[in-house]
Structure 1
């Protein structure tokens, strides 16, 4: 509790406090109240970042069904399954920086595999990371690769704890395929699904490292997310606006808490009903 208070609760409260000041991080702090939040309401870059975060959130949730499908496949007893598990587990253990570099090369218009494939099929050159229409989708696709691997690990753990008596009883009643999955397997995987949801939502909302590595918010700020915009305002050449950056952080924290609270309320209501 002491560690949690010192390294989590106090920094959160300090960020909220700083967001009420105009401060460059070194000089005197000037009280502005909710001035930073009022400025956010008229900041076009903030709305672009918020829109991209919502897009991240919507598409990043695809990692959960991808992870479940992969876990169901890897839960089979077939020849070479350990090799398959290692290959699917690999994206989770490598750094996000490495993932960003791999996909940057993958999208590269001069030698990238995806660009070569698109040119072969359509005859057109598309620079994914330099096109405002596609750049955010390209970064999200890079993030889905390791995130789906993480969800896969959660579901593999859950599949190993299934109640064999329920599974056997369902088989005796004739349950097969999708019926078995929907009525027997998925209800027992609810704890894994809850953890996957929370971790995926947090990952989507804080998506900083891939944006920083792959585009640095470009082109023309079109791939910014709230966490990267916070960094730009608070700790980069934009002027060290610590108060304004803290206000962005508080908004991001509030959005994250809303989603996690909804998941927690739903989980508790289900447990009470059970």
Structure 2
């Protein structure tokens, strides 16, 4: 006995707008909180800094519109000379930037050493990891004691070789380099951690194939290992550049911008002009912050473009 099937004459219910776009909208919904926080705490403050830089303002009273006058005074546009403090701060930032990049190859070679199977390797990893977990303020205090002219360990060591005491932080020609050396200690540890993570993702089959082809030592490192460490290298470059350009805490702890203002950098000069007892020129400090932001942005965009070009060439 057979039964005839009755066709469904009801039309299908129309799908809602969200159902039709669910695949495209779901990722955006997950990203929305992060985008909101990024806009509130990054994008909007950047716009506010640029707006404040166009005013003369002490942070409390009425802001007076001055246009680009702060930038003209800062960069020496027109008849007035360039701000000497800004010039010193700018060139000190360039020194920080160049020498801070030494942390990247140093971190790489320490990571290569720690990636080996060596007896007691956990102790070595702990020793090299230690600078990364301590505060920059503590690093500044440790190196301030290390550089003491009479009681410091540095002068005790060079005294063994017959050299006289050196006042690193009291000499305007040496103080900046002494602070950079202190900053390189934790920054190298950070780059080491990035490269250790990258080395764990290196394809062992490529390494084995390269060994069969006779590659070893520097050739293995240059042609096999480093190409696979490009993401870690990119992150190391970006983080190191940002760290070099926003250096503030070590300078504040170790020299407070001295001696004679020789260790100022842009971030510290911005603080002096905006918030110190001798400043409260919020507009001028914001102009310094905008210059620092574009300097930092230029380097980051260059590395992003370089990485994009390499990825495009690989495909």
Residues paired across the two proteins, number? 274
CA distance in 2 between counterparts of 1:147 and 1:233 reads 28
Stretches of 4+ moved more than 4 A in 1? none
Question: Which residue is equivalent to 1:269?
Answer: 309
Aligned residue runs from structure 1 range 184-199, under 5 A: 184-199=224-239
Q: List per-residue Cα deviations over 1:225-264 (Å, max 9, x = no partner).
A: 0000000000001130000000000000000000000000
Quote the RMSD (CA, aligned, Å): 0.7
- Post-superposition offset of 1:25: 0.1
Question: Which residue is equivalent to 2:79?
Answer: none
- Post-superposition offset of 1:123: 3.6
Secondary structure of the 2:59 match is coil
Report the TM-score when normalising by structure 2.
Answer: 0.86
Q: Which has the larger radius of gyration?
A: 2
Aligned residue runs from structure 1 range 239-254, under 5 A: 239-254=279-294
Secondary structure of the 1:91 match is helix
Report the TM-score when normalising by structure 1.
Answer: 0.99
CA distance in 2 between counterparts of 1:239 and 1:111 reads 35
Q: Answer with 88-97 or 78-87: which moved more.
A: 78-87
Higher relative contact order (CA 8 A, sep 6+): 1
- Post-superposition offset of 1:124: 2.0
Pick one of 299, 303, 313 that aligns with 1:259: 299
CA distance in 2 between counterparts of 1:35 and 1:118 reads 50
CA distance in 1 between counterparts of 2:181 and 2:163 reads 23
CA distance in 2 between counterparts of 1:125 and 1:183 reads 46
Pick one of 50, 71, 76 that aligns with 2:116: 76
Give unmatched runs, 5+ long, in structure 1: none
CA distance in 1 between counterparts of 2:245 and 2:174 reads 19
Alignment check: 8 A CA contact 1:97 1:210 kept: yes
Aligned residue runs from structure 1 range 1-274, under 5 A: 1-41=35-75, 42-274=82-314
- Post-superposition offset of 1:118: 2.8
Which of the two has greater helix per residue?
A: 1
Secondary structure of the 1:238 match is coil
CA distance in 1 between counterparts of 2:125 and 2:214 reads 30
Secondary structure of the 1:128 match is coil
CA distance in 1 between counterparts of 2:169 and 2:253 reads 11
Q: List per-residue Cα deviations over 1:1-38 (Å, max 9, x = no partner).
A: 11111010000000000000000000000011111011
